[in-house]
Structure 1
Amino acid sequence: MYWVPGLVPGGKENFNSCLIIADRFRKSVRCLPFHKEDTAMDTTLLFWNNITSKRGVPKIIISDREPKFTSEFWTNLYDMLVTKPSFSTAYHPRQMV
């Protein structure tokens, strides 16, 4: 999951950012438009409504270390999934195996 900010505003709602979600299992990519000013909860709801509700809960989510995703986003998402989060260290190559 990657966040692309600073796009030229477009569409009816003048979206200026994009959330790119790659699904390795299905070999597909989803590009979800949203506003750069959206909160972490808005992003969580976007993910929930467009990914989790249609494809199920992913087992692994790999994301860039955007502050919007590293704290509030995960807390909100885990609350919605009724799951207790488990966080790894910032850089630990053995945990990616």
Structure 2
Amino acid sequence: MDWVTALPPSGEKSYNSCLVIVDRYRKTPIFLPCHKNDTAMDTALLPWSRHFSYR
């Protein structure tokens, strides 16, 4: 997991950061747009709300 910060605002919600997670099984990166001032709780819920599916 790593952060890319200080990006120009983009998208409807003006995202200015990106959380990068590497899937060790598939060896692929997962890029999740976020805000630089997100809280720890926002960060913890980010992968579950945007990437992983519920079935």
Which TM bucket (shorter chain)?
Answer: 0.7 to 0.9
Q: Which structure shows the bigger proportion of residues in helix conformation?
A: 1
- Runs of 4+ in structure 1 displaced over 2 angstroms? 47-51
Q: Which structure shows the bigger proportion of residues in strand conformation?
A: 2
Normalised by the size of structure 2, how large is the TM-score? 0.83
What is the alpha-carbon distance in structure 1 between the residues aligned to residue 27 and residue 50 of structure 2?
17
RMSD: 1.3
- Larger RCO (CA within 8 A; separation ≥ 6): 2
Number of aligned residues: 53
Identity, in percent, stands at 53
Unaligned ranges ≥5, structure 2 = none
Normalised by the size of structure 1, how large is the TM-score? 0.50
Unaligned ranges ≥5, structure 1 = 55-97
